[in-house]
Each structure stands twice: as structure tokens, then as C-alpha cells.
Amino acid sequence: MDDDMPNEALAELRTKHLGVWGVVQIAAGTGLAVYAMWVGLLQPGFRKVPLKLQVPYIPASKAQVKNVMSLMRGRTGGLVDLGSGDGRIVLEAYQHGFAPAVGYELNPWLVQLARFHAWRAGHHGKVSYRQEDLWKIDLSKCKNVTVFLAPSVLSLLQKKLQDELPNDALVVAGRFPFPDWNPCRIEGHGVDRAWAYNMQAQPHHTSQKNQKPQCKTV
Ligand SMILES: C[S@@+](CC[C@H](N)C(=O)[O-])C[C@H]1O[C@@H](n2cnc3c(N)ncnc32)[C@H](O)[C@@H]1O
Ligand SMILES: *[C@@H]1O[C@H](CO)[C@@H](O)[C@H](O)[C@H]1NC(C)=O
């Protein structure tokens, strides 16, 4: 009985060793796969975007989309989503009566996916997805803007929006708030939270700085 112990232990050790090696192999394989995906699927549109401005694709949750739409309630007309991913916010906005609903997305695969989703929902031709760099588009005519990007780019985006957006614009940010702005409404909790900002209430907004914060969204 006692004789069996060392053998058993050894056998166990061996399988453990193999297990560890297996894990290493799997990890390496997964790493390669992720890297290949990054290069092949995510990079193409981003070649000209500086590394520090590159934002990964994370789709908004159902609750996040709902919170964003609830902060946009009461507004009409056109809506723009900066970094529209698979187009879920744009599509939802169209279904809430926003038209034209436009998404800007650099990744060509996501643009195609978004168009497919729109087609499947029967809204082909009703929403539009443009493969353009959001840092290069002129936002001076946008009044209803939604964004879900990363904290690393929000202070730069804050500046662009301040410089370009008209006074009566409303910006709704999902998941991450703008670092220096005062939100007029907040909806939801945790990762699903969304913040609404009235442009004329922001401290450094170029056109009118002395107006009271207001949120005509209810
Ligand atoms: C966090 S995801 C959000 C996707 C979508 N708005 C949603 O809520 O599901 C951010 C998206 O912005 C896109 N993006 C990042 N930088 C961009 C840029 N400079 N121009 C256009 N799109 C960009 C990314 O490709 C990614 O799909
Ligand atoms: C955004 O919302 C406002 C307020 O409802 C509306 O007047 C405007 O036409 C909308 N769209 C655009 C593109 O400004």
C-alpha cells in the first residue's frame, strides 16, 4: 500500500507538468490568435491613427444603450455616434425617431457588420455608417452626439467637441464620463452608466460661456 504512494505521486506530478505545459501552449496559441485578430481584423482602418488614440471595440450593453437613449429622450432630428462599432446605438436611435442617424467608424469590418445589422432589422438605407476617422470630421452641425470610447482619448475629444459643437448640442457619453465637464443628467449604474452634457453649460465652450446648465431632455 505504502509502496504505491511514490508512484502515484510521480504520476500525478507528471500529469501536472503536462498540464502546465499544455496551459503554456494554449496561452501562446491564444496570444497568437488574438494578435492575428488584432492585425487582420482591427488594424486595417487604424493605420493612420496614432497609437495613443486607438480605442478597442467593446460593444455597448443593452442597459447602456437604453440609458443613452433615455438621456437623448425629447430630442429629435439627426444623431451622430462617434465610433459606432456594430452600429447598435445608431440603429436604436433610428428606431427612436432620430433621422438621419449616422455612425462614424474606422474599422471597415465593423462598418460592414453594422450595415448587415441594419439590413437585417429592415432599416437598410435608413441609417448610415461612414468609414471615417472621427478626429477628422467636422462636428459643427451635430447637435445630438453619442460616444462610447476610452478614458485615454476623452480629454482630447472634450477639446474637439468644445471647439466645434454648437451651443444647443447635447453629448451623451457611455461607460466613461468626460474628465472636465459637468453632466446635466446621469442614467444607470456601473459599467452601464451614461452621462449627458449640455454644450452651453461647459466651462470652456467657445461660443457662449455664461449660460446656466440646462438639460431639456425630460
Ligand atoms: C468602445 S467601442 C463602442 C462601439 C459602439 N458605439 C457601441 O456602443 O457598441 C468604440 C469604437 O470606436 C471606434 N473608433 C475608435 N477610434 C476611432 C476613430 N478615430 N474614428 C472612428 N472610429 C473609431 C472603434 O473601432 C470601436 O468600434
Ligand atoms: C438634435 O436635436 C435637436 C433638439 O431636439 C434638434 O433641433 C436637431 O435638429 C437635432 N439634430 C441635429 C442634426 O442637429
CB of residue 19 inside a 6 A radius of ligand 2: no
Tell the CATH topology of 62-201: Rossmann fold (3.40.50)
Residue nearest to atom 26 of ligand 1 (CA): 57
Alpha carbon distances (Å) from 78 to 98, 128, 129, 161, 176: 5, 11, 13, 17, 23
Q: What is the pLDDT of residues 32-65, one digit of tens each?
A: 777 776 666 656 677 777 877 888 899 999 999 9
Lookup: cell for 171: 453629448
On whether the CB atoms of residues 103 and 129 are closer than 8 A, the answer is yes
Question: Which of 143, 146, 168 has most ligand 2 atoms within 8 Å of CB, for mutation?
Answer: 143
pLDDT over threshold 80, residue 23: no
pTM, 2 dp: 0.80
Domain spans of the chain, in order of start: 4-42, 62-201
- Closest ligand to 168 CA? 2
CB of residue 44 inside a 6 A radius of ligand 2: no
Q: What is the pLDDT of residues 79-113, one digit of tens each?
A: 999 999 999 999 999 999 999 999 999 999 999 99
Q: Which atom of ligand 1 is nearest to the CA of 83?
A: 12
CB of residue 191 inside a 6 A radius of ligand 1: no
Mean of per-residue pLDDT scores for the chain:
86
On whether the CB atoms of residues 206 and 163 are closer than 8 A, the answer is yes
